[in-house]
């Protein structure tokens, strides 16, 4: 198939654009002016009428299966009070009649002042005590179950879980709040999905992702006990030609025994072509989230001196599993938000290096609360940083109160990391945030709130340029996968993964970037989405 796309503003590099490109069998062959391209035996000419074209965007860390689930679950993201959470649950229960009620997206910091607390089982019991209910906080690091859910688990007064907590009420019994690794006890009551339901979740997530301009995802859908089903379903979909975008695995094994089992059986998980379906990285969790105060801090939280956060893995556990992965030539990415978590990850990774600096491109997911010294060391060690600027929409309102003004002043330091040499790539951690990349780019460029773009800016010196944000979302994310040689740019020899925008991202007011829509998505030279 030979295709020419013409009459566009095609982004090549900073201050460098072309008018047309020529695609043959999914590969870009030429780029330049239309009249200079080889027009012999062309099958199709597409006129994009002056619109801006970018390389397809690559979300370097999200959860595609959870995104597909979230689209059909009880959406709590707009709740502004505990009563509204309860009413949303009742309405969903009345209209869907599920056997188990799953919801996600509540945030106690968005509740009215009188409700500024986490929800508990007592709140969820007002929705129902007949069926189990699990409502996860927006970050996914805290989940709450009602009395029925706790009864099904069989808990009484257990409060300690390795790398997590089951919080107790004044009566000494679980109050329904589960943090970090403890959430898996709560999730254990959710019936295992069939391959067909899992496929539907994946397809739902893919359809939405390509509609907002993602052509590649690096997705953490392997989470412990579901690994065999997810591996087999994705590989079956790949064999059947059902993967609509490029998919890279990020597989989570917190327990080294589970990881050892994976190493013994990984040959059973299927064949990777490393272009459309890729093996990817081991994903670890060192800590939790800033909003839930489970991010691991070196000092107590400024607004709650009783806690430093939660270590989902001890330093020794992290060192052991990082060295085992490195010995098996497996790249590692680790969730680290608090400065103590970041410190632990830097040291663990450094312990795996020999003569070469970071040969496997180990990376840090989030890398939010950092000291100046840590920024320098991350850059010198060339640790890849998977950043989510969109998190600033909420976090800019709490970061100073959580960690204090001094530490806040060196946090979310994406520009400093990039300028000092750290490989930077962007993600949304969907469904923690919507995987639409344009609000994320807006946040990277303006560092202002989404709803009040004329408001305060958090650390103006850490703004990225539009080009830097796009490059981080394309070639930067491809670097994270060792794939920068064939995707992430619109150049000859690269795959024809591209998107066309309804507005020119390079010339519109920065405040309007968040509202950009995709009019066409092409993957491997084939149009997979067009706006109506």
Instruction: Write down the pLDDT at residue 453.
Output: 64
pLDDT digits (tens, 9 = 90+) for 420-447: 999 999 999 999 999 999 999 999 999 9
CATH number of 195-480: 3.20.20.140
Domain extents in the chain: 2-55+492-530, 100-187, 195-480
Q: Tokens 């691991």 correspond to what residue? A: 296
Q: DSSP 3-state assignment of 459? A: coil
CATH number of 2-55+492-530: 2.30.40.10
Instruction: Write down the pLDDT at residue 368.
Output: 98
Instruction: Write down the pLDDT at residue 172.
Output: 87
Considering only 6-20, 29-43, 178-192, 472-486, which range has the smallest mean pLDDT?
A: 178-192
Residue 315 tokens read as 């330093």
Instruction: Write down the pLDDT at residue 157.
Output: 54
Instruction: Write down the pLDDT at residue 266.
Output: 78
Tell me how far apart the alpha carbons of residues 14 and 23 are, in angstroms, rounded to a whole number.
22
Q: Which of 247, 238, 234 is nearest to 195 (CA)?
A: 234
Angle between helices 195-211 and 227-239 (to 10 degrees): 60
CB 174 within 8 A of CB 155: yes
Tell me how far apart the alpha carbons of residues 52 and 189 are, in angstroms, rounded to a whole number.
48
The residue length of the chain stands at 532
Q: Which helix (H) or strand (E) holds 76?
A: none
Tell me how far apart the alpha carbons of residues 304 and 401 are, in angstroms, rounded to a whole number.
9
CB-count burial class (<10 Å; 0-12, 13-18, 19+) for 58: buried
Instruction: Write down the pLDDT at residue 509.
Output: 96
Tell me how far apart the alpha carbons of residues 378 and 365 are, in angstroms, rounded to a whole number.
12
DSSP 191: P
Tell me how far apart the alpha carbons of residues 121 and 456 are, in angstroms, rounded to a whole number.
37
Q: Please, which pLDDT band fits residue 130 given cuts at 50, 70 and 90?
A: very high
Instruction: Write down the pLDDT at residue 159.
Output: 58
Q: DSSP 3-state assignment of 346? A: helix
Q: Please, which pLDDT band fits residue 126 given cuts at 50, 70 and 90?
A: very high
- CATH 3.30.930.10 for the 100-187 domain, yes or no: no
Residue 302 tokens read as 């400024």
Considering only 56-70, 77-91, 256-270, 493-507, which range has the smallest mean pLDDT?
A: 256-270
In sequence order, what DSSP letters do the residues of 81-121 get, joined into one string?
Answer: SHHHHHHHHHHHHHHH--SSEEEEEE-GGGS-GGG-S---H
Residue 62 tokens read as 């999200």
Tell me how far apart the alpha carbons of residues 237 and 234 are, in angstroms, rounded to a whole number.
5
Instruction: Write down the pLDDT at residue 327.
Output: 96
Tell me how far apart the alpha carbons of residues 414 and 126 are, in angstroms, rounded to a whole number.
43
Q: For residue 499, report the phi and psi dihedrals to the nearest 5 degrees.
A: -135, 150
Task: Give, rounded to a whole angstrom, the gap between the first and last alpha carbons of the chain.
Answer: 25
Relative to beta strand 160-161, strand 164-168 is antiparallel
- The string over 27-46, giving b where at least 16 C-beta atoms fall within 10 Å of a residue's C-beta and e elsewhere, is ebbbbeebeebeeeeeeebb
Q: What mean pLDDT comes out for the span 503-524?
A: 97
Instruction: Write down the pLDDT at residue 139.
Output: 86
Looking at the DSSP bridge assignments, the partners of residue 214 are 57
For residue 376, pLDDT beyond 70: yes
Q: What mean pLDDT comes out for the span 75-103?
A: 94
DSSP 194: P
For residue 26, pLDDT beyond 80: yes
pLDDT digits (tens, 9 = 90+) for 387-413: 999 999 999 999 999 999 999 999 999
Tell me how far apart the alpha carbons of residues 206 and 65 are, in angstroms, rounded to a whole number.
9
pLDDT digits (tens, 9 = 90+) for 143-194: 999 999 999 988 755 655 777 888 988 888 899 999 988 888 888 888 888 8
Instruction: Write down the pLDDT at residue 225.
Output: 66
Q: Please, which pLDDT band fits residue 137 given cuts at 50, 70 and 90?
A: very high
The CA-CA-CA angle for residues 180, 448, 418, to 5°, reads 75
């Amino acid at each position: 198939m030979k295709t020419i796309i013409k009459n566009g503003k095609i982004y090549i590099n900073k201050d460098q654009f072309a008018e047309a490109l020529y695609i043959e069998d999914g590969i870009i062959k030429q780029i330049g002016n239309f009249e200079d391209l080889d027009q012999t035996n062309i099958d199709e000419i597409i006129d994009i009428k002056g619109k801006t074209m970018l390389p397809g965007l690559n979300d370097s860390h999200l959860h595609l299966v959870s995104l597909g689930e979230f689209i059909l679950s009880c959406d709590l993201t707009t709740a502004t009070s505990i009563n509204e959470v309860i009413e949303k649950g009742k309405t969903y229960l009345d209209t869907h009649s599920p056997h188990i009620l799953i919801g996600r997206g509540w945030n106690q910091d968005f509740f009215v002042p009188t409700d500024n607390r986490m929800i508990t089982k007592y709140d969820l019991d007002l929705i129902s005590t007949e069926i189990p209910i699990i409502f996860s906080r927006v970050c996914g690091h805290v989940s709450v179950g009602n009395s029925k859910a706790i009864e099904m688990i069989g808990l009484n007064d257990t409060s300690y879980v390795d790398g997590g907590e089951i919080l107790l009420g004044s009566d000494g019994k679980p109050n329904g709040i589960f943090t970090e690794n403890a959430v898996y006890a709560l999730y254990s009551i959710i019936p295992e999905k069939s391959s067909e339901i899992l496929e539907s979740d994946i397809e739902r997530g893919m359809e939405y992702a390509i509609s907002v301009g993602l052509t590649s995802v690096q997705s953490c859908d392997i989470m412990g006990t579901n690994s065999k089903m997810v591996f087999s379903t994705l590989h079956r979909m790949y064999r059947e030609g059902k993967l609509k975008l490029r998919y890279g695995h990020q597989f989570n094994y917190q327990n080294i025994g589970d990881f050892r089992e994976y190493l013994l059986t990984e040959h059973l998980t299927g064949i990777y072509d490393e272009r459309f379906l890729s093996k990817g990285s081991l994903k670890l969790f060192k800590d939790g989230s800033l909003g839930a105060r489970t991010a691991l801090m070196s000092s107590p939280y400024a607004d709650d001196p009783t806690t430093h956060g939660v270590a989902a893995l001890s330093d020794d556990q992290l060192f052991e599993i990082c060295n085992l992965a490195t010995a098996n030539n497996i790249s590692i990415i680790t969730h680290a938000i608090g400065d103590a978590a970041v410190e632990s990850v830097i040291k663990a990774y450094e312990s795996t290096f020999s003569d070469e600096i970071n040969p496997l491109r180990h990376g840090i997911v989030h890398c939010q609360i950092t000291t100046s010294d840590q920024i320098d060391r991350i850059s010198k060690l060339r640790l890849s940083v998977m950043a989510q600027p969109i998190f600033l929409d909420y976090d800019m309102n709490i970061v100073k109160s959580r960690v204090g003004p001094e530490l806040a002043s060196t946090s979310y330091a994406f520009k400093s990391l990039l300028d000092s040499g750290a490989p930077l790539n962007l993600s949304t951690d969907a469904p923690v945030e919507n995987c639409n990349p344009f609000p994320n780019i807006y946040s990277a460029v303006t560092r202002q709130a989404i709803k009040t773009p004329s408001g305060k800016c958090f650390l103006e010196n850490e703004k990225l340029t539009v080009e830097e944000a796009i490059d981080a979302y394309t070639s930067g994310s491809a670097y994270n996968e060792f794939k920068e040689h064939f995707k992430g740019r619109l150049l000859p020899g690269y795959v024809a993964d591209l998107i066309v925008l309804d507005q020119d991202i390079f010339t519109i007011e920065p405040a309007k970037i968040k509202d950009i829509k995709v009019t066409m998505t092409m993957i491997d030279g084939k149009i997979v989405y067009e706006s109506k």
